[in-house]
Amino acid sequence: MKKLEELFQSADWKTEKHVPTIDCADQVKAGELFIVTVSVGKEIAHPNTTEHHIRWISLFFLAEGDKFPYQVGRGEFTAHGESVDGPNKGPVYTNHEVAFTLKISKPGTLYATSLCNIHGLWKSEREIKVT
């Protein structure tokens, strides 16, 4: 039996279209709001079709010294061109990008996870310093 962490794939987002990319400041002020944008396919576009798409992105924060992470939020992407007329004939497609506004009081690490309906679970992380 595989452990949960073995189900997640990771790579350099510049060369792999499935990796969630975390965009935000490297250092923030304690208690001040800042924006974190997480997207899939930043450098190499990920398909967004009925047959091949990103279903969701989640973001977590693990404060330095804490045992467990906090879930910051989750974005669900549910429109991929589906239609009663057939695949990829629908009038709406969601883009696999989500922005979170948050504040932190301690330094730590942001963890992003995403799910491709064909290629499974992906993850990335980014350290954040606090002044």
The residues assigned a catalytic role are: 16-18, 46, 52, 116, 119
Matching residue, tokens 């279903």: 55
Q: What are the phi and psi torsion angles at 25 (to 5°)?
A: -65, 150
Specify burial of residue 7 (Cβ count, 10 A radius: 0-12, 13-18, 19+): exposed
Q: Which residues contact 4 (CB under 8 A, 6 or more apart)?
A: none
